[in-house]
């Protein structure tokens, strides 16, 4: 197990973001829908990607992954089992349910289990697939599904906390091979869902309303192989925006899509950054030396992403005043609060709210990473803190950031990986 050792750093220069993990994972699952070869570019080399590929191989697909390009073919094996030993490590692997059901008429996928950031039920997945005609039951920790034929329906996918990205993905992938028309109302609008829909269209799916909360899908008999490029990772881009603010460092972020970051860039401006978008869509962040307090509410896209809540909290620990963060996606997603407080931050949590009283400085400490985005927040805090910070259990951050310590070192950060 590894840890990061970090010292206070001033950053400078430019950084290029990797392909989006959250877009790549369901697209990898979608290759189950065809027996033809798919070639996918700009795939980040991450632990979650490797886990997804291991499940894909267990389901009878051949995989070649080299220099960010993933080539996926088919083997005679037509298994429909996604085993718990692999699914347990990553919730997105539940996305195999829809394509297995559509292509192989049967699926047995392990339930992903609990999550440290709070309950993340699969009820909307099951609701949508049952509406298409699937018979589904839960037994011994597995979701069993089968259907002789899926038939298009009008499906409302709203839940207690709004739309669901992965439920939209699962139902969309099942609907493309269903007979008739499917209408998904209250579909998630995230760029990663849009990317999946565009990938499916390249495979021959008939989908309208892409990027909107109403998707219309006319089922086709079969899908083809295709070539596709994964969109940039907006969460990684947002993490470097937060790093620029927290360390008061001018940075240029290359390879991102600023249109996917509208709410994040607006929040950065309110905190005190001047932002310039270049003709090549590079994002130049010029932070103020005096960070301003703000109120942030996490919402479904295009609102402020829950996956950037922790990183921006680390910034606001150094703002001159009191900030309020309201978490409306995962109300329990505050595992980073006690760790930031160990670094002399002043944060009080009450239910889905966190009240942050900004301070002049943070102090280095030994802290524990609890999840992927909390890990990134602790790295940012360590880059601003006086003294030595050690972030333990950084395997969490390896799930979603490609060589993050190398990217930070190129920006001048004093950070190194050591055995824990």
363 is catalytic: no
| CATH code of the region 2-17+232-419 | 3.65.10.10
Give the rounded distance of the alpha carbon of 11 from its chain centre. 25
User: CA triplet 108, 109, 111: central angle to 5 degrees?
Assistant: 135
For residue 7, list its beta bridge partners.
388, 414
Tens of pLDDT, residues 313-372 = 999 999 999 999 999 998 999 999 999 999 999 999 999 999 999 999 999 999 999 899
Termini Cα distance of the chain:
6
The secondary structure of residue 369, as a DSSP letter, is: -
Give the C-alpha separation, 152 to 161, whole Å.
25
CATH 3.40.640.10 fits 21-220, yes or no: no
CB of 188 within 8 A of CB of 165?
A: yes
CB of 252 within 8 A of CB of 14?
A: yes
Residue 113, pLDDT score: 56
**Low-confidence residues of the chain: pLDDT under 50:** 114, 119
Domain ranges of the chain: 2-17+232-419, 21-220
Which two three-digit tokens encode residue 263?
């709410």
Residue 81, pLDDT score: 85
CB of 375 within 8 A of CB of 417?
A: no
Residue 114, pLDDT score: 46
Cβ contacts of 114 within 8 Å, gap of 6 or more: none
Identical fold between 2-17+232-419 and 21-220: yes
Residue 119, pLDDT score: 47
Check 38, 95, 115, 317 and give the catalytic one. 115
């Amino acid at each position: 197990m590894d840890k990061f050792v970090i010292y206070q750093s001033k950053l400078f220069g430019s950084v290029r973001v990797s392909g989006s993990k959250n877009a790549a994972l369901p697209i990898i699952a979608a290759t189950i829908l065809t027996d033809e070869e798919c070639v996918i570019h700009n795939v980040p080399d991450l632990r979650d990607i490797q886990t997804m590929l291991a499940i894909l191989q267990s389901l009878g697909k051949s995989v070649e992954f080299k220099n960010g390009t993933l080539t996926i073919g088919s083997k005679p094996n037509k298994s429909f089992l996604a085993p718990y030993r692999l699914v347990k490590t990553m919730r997105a692997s539940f996305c195999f349910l829809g394509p297995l059901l559509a292509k192989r008429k049967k699926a047995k996928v392990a339930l992903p289990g609990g999550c440290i950031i709070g309950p993340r039920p699969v009820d909307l997945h099951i609701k949508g697939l049952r509406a298409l005609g699937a018979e589904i039951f839960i037994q011994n920790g597995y979701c069993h599904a089968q259907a002789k034929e899926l038939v298009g329906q009008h499906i409302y996918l709203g839940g207690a906390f709004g739309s669901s990205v992965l439920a939209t993905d699962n139902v969309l992938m099942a609907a493309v091979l269903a007979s008739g028309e499917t209408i998904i109302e209250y579909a998630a609008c995230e760029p990663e869902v849009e990317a999946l829909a565009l990938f499916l269209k390249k495979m021959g799916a008939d989908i309208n309303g892409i990027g909107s909360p109403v998707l219309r899908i006319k089922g086709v008999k079969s899908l083809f192989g295709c070539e596709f490029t994964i969109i940039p990772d907006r969460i990684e881009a947002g993490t470097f925006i937060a790093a620029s603010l927290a360390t008061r460092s001018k940075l240029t972020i290359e390879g991102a899509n600023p249109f996917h970051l509208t709410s994040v860039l607006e929040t950065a401006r309110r905190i005190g950054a001047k932002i310039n978008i270049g003709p090549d869509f590079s994002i130049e962040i010029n932070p103020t030396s005096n960070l301003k307090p703000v109120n942030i509410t996490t919402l479904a896209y295009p609102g402020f992403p829950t996956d950037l809540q922790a990183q921006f909290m680390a910034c606001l620990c150094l703002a001159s005043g009191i900030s309020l963060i309201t978490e409306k996606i995962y109300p329990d997603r505050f595992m980073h609060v006690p760790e930031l407080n160990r670094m002399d931050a002043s944060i009080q949590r009450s239910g889905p709210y966190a009240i942050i009283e900004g301070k002049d400085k943070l102090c280095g400490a030994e802290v524990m990473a609890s999840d992927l985005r909390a890990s990134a927040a602790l790295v940012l805090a360590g880059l601003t803190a006086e003294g030595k910070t050690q972030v333990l259990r950084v395997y969490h951050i390896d799930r979603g950031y490609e060589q993050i310590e190398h990217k930070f070192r190129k920006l001048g950060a004093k950070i190194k990986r050591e055995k824990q």
